Homo-oligomer: A and B are copies of this chain.
Amino acid sequence: MTDAGRFHVDPAISILAAGMPSLSPDDFQALCHLRVVHRFIGRGRSLLSAGEPFQRLRIIVKGWAMHSRRHHDRRQILDLMLAGDVIGLETDGQHLPLTDVEALTPCEVGEIDLKSLHRIALRSPGIAGGLTRIVAKQLARAEDQILRLGQMTAYERVCHVLLDIHDRQRAAGIDGKPVDFPVTQTVLAALLGLSVVHVNRQVMRLREEGLIVLTRQQLVLCAPERMASIAGIRPLDRGGSSTLAVAAE
- Name A residues whose Cβ lies closer than 8 Å to a Cβ of B: 21, 42-46, 69, 71-76, 78, 89-92, 98-99, 102, 104, 118, 121-123, 125-126, 128-129, 131-133, 135-136, 138-140, 142-143, 145-147, 149-151, 184, 186-187, 189-190, 192-193, 195-196, 232-240, 243-246, 248
Contacts and interface: CB of A to CB of B under 8 A. Distances in A.
Given A73-B239, A78-B143, A128 B121 contact: yes
Contacts of A90: 136, 139-140
A214 B217 CA distance: 51
A45 B247 CA distance: 8
Identical chains bound together, number: 2
A53 to B, nearest CB: 17
Contacts of A92: 21, 133, 136
Given A232-B72, A238-B189, A142 B135 contact: no
Contacts of A132: 89, 128, 131-132, 135
Contacts of A189: 238-239
Nearest to A189: B238
B73 A235 contact: yes
The 3 closest A-B pairs by CB, nearest first: A44-B246, A128-B128, A150-B193
Contacts of A239: 73-75, 189-190
A189 B56 CA distance: 40
Nearest to A99: B143
Contacts of A235: 72-73
Nearest to A46: B248
Interface centre among A129, A196, A245 (most CB of B within 10 A): A129
Given A125-B122, A129-B118, A139-B90, A151 B74 contact: yes
Nearest to A77: B150
B145 A44 contact: no
Given A132-B135, A190-B243, 10 more contacts: A42-B246, A44-B244, A44-B245, A69-B147, A71-B232, A74-B239, A102-B244, A129-B131, A138-B139, A139-B139
A136 B142 CA distance: 12
Interface centre among A140, A189, A235 (most CB of B within 10 A): A140
